């Protein structure tokens, strides 16, 4: 558990009905029942209606469901009134949908980030943590490019906050096991047809559990000085091992890599190595021009600078999840998080 003291604090999660938003909600309501307010901000009333069945206002008096779009600055500003901490998780996150609807992706992922920043600057928000993705590192698709832009907007926002005690930081991680639209639920569904489509037999991905993603965000809220991009040290898996873990009896059909996909993902590019530090449990990419004293930061966190040219790639990771471990994780995490009945051989 992190050391956050959230007593009396009001927190808003954009994209609060998504995979991460729901996991954060569960974590906060369980571990910080003394918060003042938890606001779930998203567009679709149906998702909010369903979430309110699980977390009704009658049982959790601090929870509020706020319909709103991150593209709507005025609505965001209203929702941020009285809020101390913002977790910005709302995004369009499907690579191929972003390619087909580029303007929509730009409006949500970049315009939304600008609005969150502006609304934070105009209200009394103290801390903002924005979610990034490995696809934002040296991006080759629009989703990644919009998230990289969003990362840069949040980091640079620390330069325009004046004397406000507001801090903006970013958390970047890789595939969340079992999250909406990810490979595990996809393979579990495809398993029923007996064929698992594999894009590239060499493909690797970083893996993080929803629980670790939640911890990462809560820690960033706690420890950020402003301008950091936090990267967790997490294992990789081979897509072929996920297929083997889920459907060893299925046909594993090679279908070819899709436009905008990489064989391996990166979280830290070698060009980031000049400002990247090892904090033990995480790496942190620091801003080019921090608004605090770098030497003080290094001393406080016992931060060790990584070697020049260092890059953090899923294909060259030192930690791997093999078939057995993947099977265990799929069984425990997906089963418990989504309450779906699966049979993993």
Ligand X SMILES: NC(=O)c1ccc[n+]([C@@H]2O[C@H](COP(=O)([O-])OP(=O)(O)OC[C@H]3O[C@@H](n4cnc5c(N)ncnc54)[C@H](OP(=O)(O)O)[C@@H]3O)[C@@H](O)[C@H]2O)c1
Query: What are the catalytic residues?
Result: 135
The helix (H) or strand (E) run that includes residue 205 is: strand 204-208
Residue 324: half-sphere exposure toward Cβ, Cα within 13 Å: 0
Choose which of 2, 101, 159, 182 interacts with ligand X (CB under 6 A).
Answer: 182
Q: Which residue is nearest to ligand X (CB)?
A: 18
In the region spanning residues 89 to 148, those forming contacts with ligand X, defined by CB under 6 A, are: 89-91, 93, 108, 112, 131, 133, 147
The span from the CA of 66 to the CA of 312, in Å, is 38
47 binds ligand X (CB under 6 A): yes
Residue 180 interacts with ligand X (CB under 6 A): yes or no:
yes
Q: Does 43 bind ligand X (CB under 6 A)?
A: yes
Q: x/- binding map, residues 316-345, to ligand X, per CB under 6 A?
A: ------------------------------
Alpha helices in the chain (DSSP H): 19-31, 45-54, 73-79, 95-100, 102-105, 112-122, 142-157, 183-191, 210-223, 239-246, 294-301, 323-329, 335-338
**Of positions 34, 44, 193, 316, contacts ligand X by CB under 6 A:** 44
The torsion angles phi and psi of 37, rounded to 5 degrees, stand at -150, 140
Q: Which stretch binds ligand X (CB under 6 A): 2-10, 15-23, 250-258, 272-280?
A: 15-23
Give the Cα separation of 52 and 48 in Å (integer): 6
Question: Least separation, in Å, of the C-beta of 115 and ligand X?
Answer: 9
Overall residue count recorded for the chain in this entry = 345
Q: Which is nearer to ligand X, 127 or 205 (by Cβ)?
A: 205
Least distance in angstroms from the C-beta of 112 to ligand X: 6
- Establish if 14 lies at the interface with ligand X (CB under 6 A): yes
Distance CA 6, CA 296 (A): 26
Looking at 6, 12, 39, 42, which residue binds ligand X (CB under 6 A)? 42
Q: Which is nearer to ligand X, 9 or 93 (CB)?
A: 93
DSSP collapsed to 3 states, 240-292: HHHHHHHCCCCEEEECCCCCCCCCCCEEECHHHHHHEEECCCEEEECCCCCCC
- The stretch near ligand X (CB under 6 A) out of 13-21, 220-228, 235-243, 263-271 is 13-21
Residues near ligand X (CB under 6 A) are 14-21, 42-44, 47, 69-71, 89-91, 93, 108, 112, 131, 133, 147, 173, 175-176, 179-180, 182
């Amino acid at each position: 558990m992190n050391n956050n003291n959230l007593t009396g604090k009001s927190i808003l999660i954009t994209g609060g009905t998504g995979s991460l938003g729901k996991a954060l909600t569960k974590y906060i309501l369980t571990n910080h029942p003394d918060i003042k307010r938890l606001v779930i901000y998203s567009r679709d009333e149906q998702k909010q209606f369903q979430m309110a069945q699980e977390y009704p206002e009658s049982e959790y008096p601090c929870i509020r469901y706020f319909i709103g779009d991150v593209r709507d600055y005025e609505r965001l500003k209203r929702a941020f009134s009285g809020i101390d901490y913002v977790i910005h998780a709302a995004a369009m996150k499907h690579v191929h949908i972003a390619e087909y609807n580029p303007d929509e992706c730009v409006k949500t992922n970049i315009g939304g980030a600008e609005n969150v920043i502006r609304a934070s600057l105009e209200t009394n928000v103290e801390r903002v943590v924005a979610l990034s993705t490995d696809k934002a590192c040296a991006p080759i698709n629009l989703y990644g490019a919009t998230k990289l832009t969003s990362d840069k907007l949040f980091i640079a926002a620390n330069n325009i906050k004046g004397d406000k005690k507001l801090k903006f930081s970013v958390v970047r991680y890789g595939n969340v096991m079992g999250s909406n639209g990810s490979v595990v639920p996809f393979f579990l569904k495809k398993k029923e047809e007996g064929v698992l489509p594999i894009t590239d037999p060499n493909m690797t991905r970083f893996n993080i559990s929803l629980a670790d993603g939640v911890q990462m965000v809560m820690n960033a809220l706690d420890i950020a000085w402003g301008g950091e991009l936090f990267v967790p040290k997490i294992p990789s898996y081979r897509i072929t091992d996920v297929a083997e873990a889920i459907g060893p009896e299925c046909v594993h059909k090679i279908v070819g890599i899709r436009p905008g996909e990489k064989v391996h993902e990166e979280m830290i590019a070698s060009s980031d190595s000049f400002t990247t530090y090892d904090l033990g449990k995480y790496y942190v990419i620091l801003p080019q021009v921090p608004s605090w004293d770098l030497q003080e930061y290094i001393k406080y966190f016992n931060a060790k600078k990584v070697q020049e040219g260092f890059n953090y790639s899923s294909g060259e990771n030192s930690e791997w999840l093999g078939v057995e471990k993947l099977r265990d994780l799929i069984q425990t995490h997906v089963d418990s998080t989504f309450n779906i009945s699966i049979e993993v051989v």
